Amino acid sequence: MPGTFSDSWKLTKTAFGLIRQDKALLVFPFIAGLAILGVLAVFILGALFVSPIGFFGGGSPDYQVLIVLMFLAVYFLCSFISIYATAALVGAATMKLNGQQPTASDGWRVARGKIGKLLVWSLITATVGLVIQAVSRRLGGIGGLLVAGAAGASWSVLTYFVIPVLIFENERAWASMKRSGQIFVTTFGRSIVSNIVVGLIIGAGIFAAFILGIVGIVYAFGGHSALGVVLVGAAVAVGTIFLLIGSAAEGILRAALYRYATTGKIDPDLLPNAYQTSMPAAAPVPGAPLP
């Protein structure tokens, strides 16, 4: 048990350490967030367009069907964007852990090389998510919430390592789920503890931003509007930064845990400074085992 906590803390420090060393790792969750917001904006505008009270005061009599189809398309697209960006982040983070100096384009190249499998996995993930929500609504009440929570947590645990498996191992989407479950079992303690630590750190930052926002609102309605606006803006900025760092840290931690499970390594392979600037970035070979 002491070894589990020690290793978990090392893995957590590694995740945040890589972000501190290379801010480019924040690009992946940032672009994913912008893309998802863009997709949602298009969906809302499209829903208004086809609804009876839309921009043109009319619309198709079957607009509810169109709305459902649009929602399913948006749900799948958002799932794919998230998975694709996570795959790029895991690819870049693994290269960093292995002592290479990747650029953001190297991470995107890793994800692009497995785009077919990622598309299939996105469809599976989106479908399972919809089924869980449908069952939860059918049951209703606290029972539905409990079932949704338990099913969602179980699915998250079972599929935690699917993305690195899809990237680095020659497995199909369904087979990757079995492999992911096996890896999670072997890293159970370290995976749970390190994710809890990361969650607590990010949660504390977001909570601090929330409190700052509340103080800003109080000042704004208390006659200090300028100060209130500044504090609310600062709260939004701090919260956004912590969300980005949390998303990046979670992806890096997933890469680090997968690397630990397949190689037994925890600490990054740090190269001498003389080589860090001269060594060209290289993406992992698809399907090849990790070094």
Amino acid 52: pLDDT? 57
Give the range of the structural domain holding residue 108, as residue numbers without chain letter.
2-276
Confidence of residue 212 (pLDDT cuts 50, 70, 90): very high
Instruction: Report if residue 230 sits inside a domain.
Output: yes
Chain length of the chain: 291
Q: pLDDT tens digit string along 225-270? A: 888 889 999 999 999 999 999 999 999 999 999 999 998 888 887 6
Does residue 150 fall inside a structural domain? Answer: yes
pLDDT tens-digit series, residues 75-111: 999 999 999 999 999 999 999 999 888 889 999 999 9
Rounded to an integer, what distance in angstroms lies between the CA atom of residue 247 and that of residue 86? Answer: 9
CA trace torsion 56, 61, 64, 69 (10° rounding)? -90
When divided into structural domains, the chain yields a total of 1
Is residue 168 domain-resident? yes
Q: So what's the pLDDT on residue 50?
A: 65
pLDDT at site 270? 63
Mean pLDDT calculated for residue range 191-203:
92
**287 in a structural domain:** no
Number of CB atoms found within 10 A of residue 233's CB: 13
With respect to residue 290, please indicate whether it lies within any of the assigned structural domains.
Answer: no
Alpha helices, DSSP H only, in 114-224? 115-139, 141-158, 162-168, 173-186, 188-221
> What's the farthest any 2 CA atoms get from each other in the chain?
68
Q: At what angle do helices 115-139 and 63-97 cross, to 10 degrees?
A: 130
Does 117 map to a domain?
Answer: yes
Mean pLDDT of the chain: 84
Number of alpha carbons in the 13 Å side-chain half-sphere of residue 115: 6
